[in-house]
Every structure is written in C-alpha cells, then in structure tokens.
Amino acid sequence: MPWRISYRHPLRPDDGGIRFVPDQSEAAAEKLRLELRGYAVSEPTQTEGFRLTAQTEEVLPDEAAEAPARSRLLGAIFHTAPGP
C-alpha cells in the first residue's frame, strides 16, 4: 500500500502538496529530504491503493458516448478545431 506525505513551506504558504510513495522506507527518506529543504512535513500515513489515470485521447469502451463532448471540450481549451 502506498504512503502519503503532506508538506508545506512555512514562509511560502502556496508552496506545498502531497506526495505518494510506494513503501515505508521510501516515505521516511522523502520526509527527511523535505524537512532538510525547510518544509513542514506530516507523519507519513498509509493510504488505500490508488489508481493513476493517464490523460490521453484514448477512449475506453464505457466512455465511448462521452468522447465527442470531450473532444469539443479539449478543442475549446487548447483552441483547436473540433474532431470528427
């Protein structure tokens, strides 16, 4: 199960985030790296498994109905011509 680490820089409130690492030893090492850079770091906590999704134009079968709308949305965001 992955481990979660939250961190924030005390002098730059908008500089912070969450990191996920695969195991406890890596979590301890990442916590130390962040602390040495001056970040306030939470204790690593074990999280439920998470799923990473790629942001591609690939359409999965259950998403086929949403594909035309997504294509138009992406076209509007990136100022490109809509797809077929």
Query: Quick one: pLDDT at residue 30?
Result: 93
Q: Are strands 3-9 and 45-46 parallel, antiparallel or unpaired?
A: antiparallel
**pTM of structure:** 0.55
Q: How confident is the model at residue 2 (pLDDT cuts 50, 70, 90)?
A: confident
For residue 7, pLDDT beyond 90: yes
**21-78 residue pLDDT tens:** 988 999 999 999 999 999 999 999 988 765 555 555 655 555 555 555 555 555 555 5
**36 by DSSP, 3-state: which?**
helix
**Cα–Cα dist 68/15, whole Å:** 37
Residue 2 near residue 49 (C-beta atoms within 8 A): yes
